[in-house]
Amino acid sequence: MNAAPVGYARRIGPFSGTMMVVGGIIGSGIFLNPAIVAQRVGTAGLTMLVWAIGAVVAILGAFIFAELGALRPAAGGGYAYLRDAFGPLPAFLYGWALLVAIASGATAAVAVTFASYAAPLLGLGPVARIPLAAGVIVLLALVNIVGVRPGAVTQNVFTILKLAAVGALVVGGLAFSGAHPLASPVSIAPHAPPATLAIALGTALVPVLFAYGGWQQTNFVAEEMVDAERSLPRALVWGVLIVAAVYLAVNLTYLRALGVDGLAHSGAPAADAMELRFGQLGRRLIEAGIAVSTFGFLDLVILVTPRVYQAMARDGVFFRQLAVLHPRFRTPVAAIALQAGWAIALLLTGTYGELLDYVTFADWIFFAATAATLVAYRRRRVAGDERRFRAPLYPWSVVLFVLAAAYVIAGSVASSPYNALRGVLILLAGVPVYGWWRTGGRRARGGR
């Protein structure tokens, strides 16, 4: 008699789920992107307005993904929703994009960012940056292989630390009453024509929405959450609300400490704001905070994304070994190793930056498509669904979120059509791979 297959263990509680949402959103973007926004809009009021609009879009997304998670608390999150609503091919292409470029490329890129900040703090030279980046990927892969709980605890600790770093930035920056010496005109004047302002607001919204992205990753581990039907929606909504409050407070801090002109011309606004208040010690502290933030983000990506590959393998459209969970640790060891290995390969070859540039828009294609799956789920509701979380403002929440995603996609394509074409080709390359797994791969597995 064959032993029953090993399943996931429900070991992620509501607090850990909320910290995953926060940690999955806050990486390095909030420490760098506000300068781009200030450059594009030119006034303090418009800068805050764009970040507030981004918060609204993120909250709408949290509502949508909260209902999806409550209805279908399955490993793989968006992969499972796309498969149920639109069929196996779009779902496979989502997993393909995550592995080939989106998640693995982000892992490599953020590991380099971590190493760039951590190496000087550890007294290491520039030559140590790549080995340190590869080492942290290996370390976090091992942590997450030995169980979802160690990975979640690591995430909790580093999310709390990054919130503490942001708190120090806010308190220090708001207490500073001076203005940054960098004060030259920026591109958009306060009394620009409405059409010019509308364009500026639209272009500024792109980096803002990218900075707010990431809450959907917690849905990947829904099958490992305690009482996921209730705890996942709460984690998503509370997590996004926390991040929205943090982002608005941080931008207010930058504007208070640097002024809009100083913010627009700052290459490192967080470090500049802290240096004005606390000198070189302040700069060092926030650099340590950025290292902590990127470390926590890495842990989350390595923890949650391999669940997508495991779900694909469980459906018979990817390497069979990836579907196997460790009998003791209850984790997808092979899937974690695959993503870590591919991320390190991208890191060592230096190709991760190009891949991310090519498929940046694809992430939002899948955001929009996944949000649209809620329409399909609503149309075929079954008894008991009404007792679960229901997204407020439906269907307008879906319409507005999809429109926001479409804008990001259009902006990305318009700004770099050649990269977008390459990204489309990377996605299309997944079609014959999917076809092989559905035909040749099935025959190789003995007709499964």
Tens-digit pLDDT profile for residues 198-212 = 777 788 888 898 889
- The answer to whether residue 57 scores a pLDDT higher than 60 is yes
Share of the chain above pLDDT 70, in %: 91
- The answer to whether residue 227 scores a pLDDT higher than 70 is yes
Looking at every residue in the chain, the average pLDDT score rounds to 88
Are 259 and 252 in contact, with CB atoms under 8 Å apart? no
Q: Determine which of 186-195, 218-227, 235-244 has the lowest per-residue pLDDT on average.
A: 186-195
Q: Determine which of 103-107, 266-270, 332-336, 402-406 has the lowest per-residue pLDDT on average.
A: 266-270
For residues 413 and 411, give the distance between their C-alpha atoms in angstroms, rounded to a whole number: 5
- The answer to whether residue 3 scores a pLDDT higher than 70 is no
Q: Average of pLDDT values for 1-23?
A: 84
CA 347 to chain CA centroid, Å, is 19
Q: What is the pLDDT of residue 445?
A: 52
For residues 387 and 383, give the distance between their C-alpha atoms in angstroms, rounded to a whole number: 9
Q: What is the pLDDT of residue 352?
A: 83
- The answer to whether residue 180 scores a pLDDT higher than 90 is no
Tens-digit pLDDT profile for residues 296-343 = 999 999 999 999 999 999 999 999 999 999 999 999 999 999 999 999
Are 158 and 295 in contact, with CB atoms under 8 Å apart? yes
Q: Which of 5-14, 21-30, 93-102 has the highest mean pLDDT?
A: 93-102
Q: What is the pLDDT of residue 116?
A: 92
pLDDT-derived band at 384, boundaries 50, 70, 90: low
- The answer to whether residue 226 scores a pLDDT higher than 50 is yes
DSSP string of 363-403, one letter each residue: HHHHHHHHHHHHHHHHHT--TTGGGS---TTTTHHHHHHHH
Question: Strand ranges (DSSP E) for 62-139?
Answer: none
- The answer to whether residue 446 scores a pLDDT higher than 90 is no
Share of the chain above pLDDT 90, in %: 60
Token pair, residue 444, equals 């190789």
By three-state DSSP, how is residue 188 classified? Answer: coil
- The answer to whether residue 373 scores a pLDDT higher than 60 is yes
- The answer to whether residue 160 scores a pLDDT higher than 70 is yes
Token pair, residue 441, equals 């791969």
DSSP string of 257-282, one letter each residue: HHHHHHHHT-SSHHHHHHHHHHTHHH
- The answer to whether residue 282 scores a pLDDT higher than 70 is yes
- The answer to whether residue 444 scores a pLDDT higher than 90 is no
Are 70 and 389 in contact, with CB atoms under 8 Å apart? yes
Its pTM stands at 0.91
pLDDT-derived band at 448, boundaries 50, 70, 90: very low
- The answer to whether residue 217 scores a pLDDT higher than 80 is yes
Q: What is the pLDDT of residue 358?
A: 83
pLDDT-derived band at 442, boundaries 50, 70, 90: low
Are 173 and 256 in contact, with CB atoms under 8 Å apart? yes
pLDDT-derived band at 440, boundaries 50, 70, 90: low
pLDDT-derived band at 185, boundaries 50, 70, 90: very low
- The answer to whether residue 40 scores a pLDDT higher than 80 is yes
Tens-digit pLDDT profile for residues 350-361 = 888 888 888 888
- The answer to whether residue 122 scores a pLDDT higher than 50 is yes
Q: What is the pLDDT of residue 415?
A: 80
Q: Determine which of 157-161, 196-200, 222-226, 303-307 has the lowest per-residue pLDDT on average.
A: 196-200
By three-state DSSP, how is residue 126 classified? Answer: helix
| CA proximity to 122, closest of 113, 112, 132, 130 | 132
| CA proximity to 50, closest of 183, 184, 210 | 210
